[in-house]
Amino acid sequence: MPQNHAVAYHPHVELYDLNKDPWEQNDLAGRAAYASIRNNLLKRLHPHLVETKDPILQGAVTSPQHHRAVELLEGVRSR
């Protein structure tokens, strides 16, 4: 059982060649041959997130299913 489920199953950074690997089976992010591409994309990502006011910058984004489940639980609790 992983200690931190939030990061246990996916690396923090993933990189795929979608032309050759449309099903995203071969993560290239850790390969030295792709280091400059990975670093360039990461360098461009943060300003884009800031510019678009991406909610991920405020912390984890909770799925709509989670919000609905909490609403249902609160409805049952208040009865």
Model pLDDT for residues 13-29, shown as the tens digit of each residue: 999 999 999 999 999 99
Residue corresponding to tokens 């994309």: 41
Range of the domain at 68: 5-77
Structure confidence at residue 9 as a pLDDT band (50, 70, 90): confident
This prediction has a pTM of 0.63
| Cα separation, 44 vs 47, whole angstroms | 6
Give the model confidence (pLDDT) of 44-78 as tens digits: 999 999 999 998 899 878 888 988 898 899 887 65
Q: Which two tokens stand for residue 62?
A: 């909770």
Question: What pLDDT shows up at residue 31?
Answer: 97
- Number of independent structural domains in the chain: 1
